[in-house]
Amino acid sequence: MDKIKLSDIFKRKFLNIIKDTNGDFYIKGKMCFLYDNLKDWTYAGNNLRSVIDAINDTVVKPEIEDILYINMPDGIIKMIIKDRGIPKTVEEAVNFLETAKKYAGNLANKLNLYGNVEDALSLLRAFADPEKYVEDDIKPEFITKDKYVRHPDFRFNFTDIGQGVGYKADTSGYNWKDIPDDAILYIPECYAGTWGCKASYVYTKSDLEKCINDRIMDDEHFVDAETMYDELSWEMPEDFLDGLDFDYKKIAYCIGDKLYYNLNEFDSPAHSLLVTVTEVNEDNIVCKDSAGTSYMFDEDMLDCLTNNPIYPVKKIKIKDSFEKDI
């Protein structure tokens, strides 16, 4: 008996499904009004049984209810119900359809909602025993930052990553250079489980390589991004490099440079301020925002400055109540 493809089940039921490189499935409804409990990308386990269980209430139960509307004489339906009762489980639904098919023959070849009896049986058998009747044709993929930004409530499966709990994509079988730059590879323990884990809390391949490029290294004392990634087990990459005594490179700032001051505030929403370099000193630089407020950055604070904003750019009100990006 041919297996039904997992992707076909989800297309048929207006559901999205992806599988990351760890083998974990994530599912989401295409139509919110159909699947209120699957409005966001939701972890659905790492095997066929767990995926089917994750859609049980929204998909499987309605399928069981629909078999009572088979296009065949009412007498046959009533006879089966009298003999077996109304099916409540997917296994009972399979037996119900097989019995109906046996008694009604060709009359049972149609269901009024979704094709013929064989199609219905194929789907219900898949629900009853997915390991036997479902083909997992979902190809593993990296979760990208672009997708994560568009779906900020994506619920990662945080697991043991060595010395703590976090997220670490399985890169075995991939050449580092072939991994997409915006593939999310790592979420450290300090951010694991954070409600609405922000895009600024995740590390892509590009982010990891930037951490390396921001440090001073030589031929005798160096580490590459791939090696660092393999070693990460709970900590932030920046702290890992600090532990190896890699100093930050000094950036040559010039007066007039436009930069973003990224404020990761724990007691208020994180935001970025557009500032302009006004002074360049030996031990610090001074910047001003559009309201004229000055900020001094010494070596310990320079990592808060970037060429692009990490967080939403904050708007401030000038004295005349005019809102302006700063």
Q: What is the 3-state secondary structure (H, E, C) of 209-226?
A: HHHHHCECCCCCCCCCHH
Report the alpha-carbon distance of residue 11 to residue 7 in Å, rounded: 6
**Structural domain ending residue among the three candidates 84, 113, 135:** 135
Per-residue pLDDT of the chain (326 residues; tens, 9 = 90+): 678 999 999 998 889 999 999 999 999 988 766 677 788 888 999 999 999 988 877 787 777 777 766 555 666 677 777 777 777 888 888 888 777 777 665 444 444 433 456 777 788 888 889 999 999 999 999 999 988 888 877 888 999 999 999 999 999 999 999 999 999 999 999 888 655 577 778 999 999 999 999 898 888 888 999 999 999 999 999 999 999 988 878 778 899 999 999 887 655 677 889 999 999 998 899 999 999 999 999 888 887 888 877 777 876 655 544 444 44
Q: Are residues 287 and 190 in the same domain?
A: no
Please tell me the predicted confidence (pLDDT) of residue 207: 93
What SS3 state is found at 16? strand
Q: Which DSSP letter does residue 182 get? A: T
Question: Does residue 99 sit within a domain?
Answer: yes
Please tell me the predicted confidence (pLDDT) of residue 98: 79
Amino acid at 111: L
Q: How many CB atoms lie within 10 A of CB 155?
A: 15
Q: Are residues 28 and 130 in the same domain?
A: yes
Q: Specify the number of domains making up the chain.
A: 3
Q: What's the token pair of residue 109?
A: 């070849």
Report the alpha-carbon distance of residue 135 to residue 4 in Å, rounded: 6
Please tell me the predicted confidence (pLDDT) of residue 268: 64
Parent domain of 56: 4-135
Question: Does residue 252 sit within a domain?
Answer: no
The model's pTM: 0.72
* β-bridge partners, 159: 166
